[in-house]
Structure 1
Amino acid sequence: MKTRHFYRNKALPLQIVLVVPFALQIFAAVSLVGYLSFKNGQRAVNDLAEQLIDRTTEVVDEHLKSYLSIPQTLNQINADAIRRGILDVGVDAGGLRHRQTVGKYFWDQMQAYNLTYIGIGLTTGEGLGVARYDGKTINIEDWTANPPNNVSTYATDERGNRTQVNTRWDWKNSEQSWYTEPIAANKPIWAKILVENFPSGPYIAASASRPIYDSQNRLLGMIACDIHLLKLGDFLRSLDISQSGRVFLLERNGKLIATSGTEKPFTLINQKAERLQAMDSNDPIIQNVAKHLQSFNGFESITEDTDFKLELQGKQYFVDVVPWRDKYGLDWLLVVSVPENAFMAQINANTQTAIAFCFAALIVASVMGVFTSHWIVRPILRLNRASKAMASGNLDQTVQTSPIQELNTLSNSFNYMAEQLLESFTALEKSKEELEDRVDERTTELKNTLEELQRTQSQIIQTEKMSSLGQLVAGVAHEINNPVNFIHGNLNHLQEYSQDLLAFVQLYQQYNSNPVPEIQIAAEKMDLEFLQEDLPKILSSMKVGTDRIREIVLSLRNFSRMDEAEFKSVDIHQGIDSTLMILQHRLKAKSEQSEIQVIKDYGNLPPVECYAGQLNQVFMNILVNAIDALEESHVKDTHQESKDNFSQIIIRTSVVNSTWVKVAIADNGVGISQELQQRIFDPFFTTKPIGKGTGMGMSISYQIITEKHGGKLECFSTLGKGTEFIIQIPVRRKAHL
């Protein structure tokens, strides 16, 4: 009898074969996710910076239009009153008639508007004006034609009456640019920005001037309104762009008008204020941006929106320059600069968090893989030990069953085989005892029978092993086949969805060959043409891979078988949320009052065809009025009373008759009386204290809703309980709008 030699080949443990490939796949997926997360974060920085800069530019543009329109509008009102004889500014032998009346008239207007000067200069050399240079005290300036000391400054009481003369000085109308320039132009203009030195401090102002005529169209002189440009700086500082960002205004000659920084737009030389050139600014951001702009062949050459990136002090800045003009001759440059790191800090933090979660998932998956492989391998090791024991002659072996169906079948088969072998050997032992008496005569027969029995035993063991191994392979193939089929089936759906999306993009490009700049920029950044070409290839390659895996699994199963898947439609809620984000700094708690709670009760609104920017302006005006009303209602409260009497703004949206949408904005502030509600949408009417409101916000809002959108704007209020504004606009654009 030949001896069989078994050689042990070098093989990998099943546990390693099960765990390592899946761990490598998970690690590769984690690395890819982290890389893509970082790249997507960097790409999002540019988009976010552009959105912030564009929004800031829009806010400043709207403020300038609103704020700078007041002086020219008031000049027109006063010029019309003079021409019609309503306001008599004529002169007689005694000089300017009705000095007291004209002074009180301008004094009343100064109470109503946030201006620093209103006055007239006549061709006779005389004139009269009302000034509020320090922002608080109102004085009347009255002058005759001939110096010296022909100007007298009068203090006033609470009714506008002159009380005493404060100062006197020399004055000639013909020497002042705010007088000579509109007379020479013979039309309303903005005079050259002036800088004066007053005891209260330097005074830098822009004068809106226009000629005035009598009823016979004879030139009487001019009328002017001044605005203090430092107030523009206060507004720019109120913009929440970033701590190291800057917003500033320049004239075409490079001189600063206003800035969001702490620096003033003038400098003191020998105790005399002079305009400050932006390139001479102490603010390094303003200075370097101005020098860069000067390199564009001078400030005069910038005629359209210009944006670029600039490195300042080792940091990258996004810079946007927009020319700002009006019909009265203003020609300024609006500059917005935002540092890149204002966005990257949060994105880097989010990327690190995403990578941390991915690695945590890798660790958890690896641990689960180890436990799962141990759970699968342990029953196989028990079978291996029992088989070795049987091969050593210990036939009394049983294997514990497994919760895995295929391994359980293999264990039962092994136990049945062991039982049959044990019974067979028991029977042989009995036969051996019976045959001992016939040993001599049947020794040869017994040897032959024993040899045959041993051969039969080997064949049975081999057959049972192959049967059990086939069932194990079939079970493993079945377990692999399930997730592969799941992936393969979903790939078909994914391919269909991606084809539908790409077809939709192509259809959109076919019928909209000139999309808005934002879409063009986004398409270029994502390389849309390459994506349309490469995405089907990626899906096809993934499908080929799953097909190959399915083929391998099918082969294993076959092997183991024993018998045989501009005016556009917008989201109203997005506009409201953007507006609330801008006003977030006013909603937060302050030392003197508690936080203003905003409750949003949004309905399911369809996209609405509207002028999105103008509609957002309406939301801004109404929400600012609501915040002002809430602050006014708690201005005299103690800290505890402010906490107990909480401030609240409720915003509700809904669909009306399927063709209109309604937006209701309510507050629990001081409310408005029935009498004032009748005038709430009148131009220049305001319920706010002096200097806090122009009276144009709600009038403009009413015009935007009713005329621009063909909608309705209503106000409902109860004193002491609050105010609610209700906006209703059609979902689709009407033909006559």
Structure 2
Amino acid sequence: MDFNTSLILPILIALWVVRMLRQFLSLPLRAPRLSRQLDWIWVPGAALLALSFFLKSDLFDEAYLVFVLSVIGLVLLRTQDYRPARTLLLGLAPYALYSLIELLVALVGKTLLKSYDEVFDTSQGFAVIWLFTFGLIARNQKKHLEQERLEREREIEDKRRIEAENSQLERMVAERTATLTRQAQELQHTLDELKTTQDQLIQSEKMASLGELTAGIAHEIQNPLNFVTNFSDVSAELVQELLEEQQRPDRDPDLEAELLNDLKQNLEKIHHHGQRAASIVRGMLEHSRQSTGERQATDLNNLADEYLRLAYHGLRAKNKAFNATINTFFDPAVGSIQAVGQDLGRVLLNLFTNAFYAVQKRQEAQGAGFVPTVSVVTRRTGAGDVEIRVKDNGTGIPEEVQQKIFQPFFTTKPTGEGTGLGLSLSYDIVTKGHSGTIEVESTEGQGTEFIVTLPG
């Protein structure tokens, strides 16, 4: 008996092909059961190898080749949803068909096979080239699909990261919202009134966030509310002491008078701070109210002169010892402009009042040697616009806060002397109501100049 060693090489090649096919098609993940079954592909080859001990035939290796090609074809059919597998199946089909025909012809008779030897050689070469070409195509498809898979994974990872960041941002927003809610609750009934004006107060160019607005309102209004609450509590105690004193048989008229006097003073303070809280509310309502007035021809010089005197005498009514030097230059060329006189007068009154306040504070700090001076200049520019300059030699504004002075509730005045709404309201009237500009130039300790420019 002769041993046919020609089957050993096909068996080894079959094992190598199975290994490569597993890697190429990712069979352990895509079809794990089919991948395990391929481990037995060597068994038919071994059976044919054992049979060659008893039967001498040159067709065993060709038969095993057809078997291996058939198994590979079945695997590709099972995984044809994978595009490279379909391409490989298309490339394998001519070579498998050629091998099957060659085996069948050899079974009929080798004479016939030799007669068409050139035809079979040509067919085999074509089938091999076809298989090689489609193998390259399948490899390129696999690379392309792998790239697409990696891109999808990156997109999924990016989406997951964005979702995580969004979740973190939502958590931070929720925490911030909870903080704002706690602050809002501290305003109690007064805040309920202020909520009706919030939509008008929230201006994106004036406020950094809703939290800054709410904190500003709470800070401004909490002080007078605290005073009202505290003096109310003290007054209740005084009333109780007075009642107890009146019930004693040996009443002390002096003590009763003292208690009544203290109670009167407390009520005056309650009234004062109540008016303070009410003024803040009125200021907010005024700030939020949009002007419905129509533009009319307005003599700017007369308007400036009128409100300049009004501001000066208003401050003198509060402090009769205060005096200031007023310098004016009203350019006759300014004439009349189209404006809402009432709104523009509100702007001028605010600027003049701030100027007199600044020079008064500097005079209090430096003493009698300082001469408070406020200058007002109007002129028509070369571009046809009109310009109003209000200059003082007061305390000045620090550079780091000059960008904030037009924000609602921002003020450099001590608590109780300003709500921080005047300049914000003036900014809206000039820029939004009259399409103009308002600028500030200031040097701390030397003075401030506001420049209002309006279309002519």
Same fold flag (TM > 0.5): no
Superposition TM-score tier, normalisation by shorter sequence: 0.3 to 0.5
TM-score by length of 1: 0.26
* Higher Rg of the two aligned structures: 2
TM-score, with length taken from structure 2? 0.41
- The structure whose residues are more often strand, as a share, is 1
Q: Flag the structure with higher helix content.
A: 2
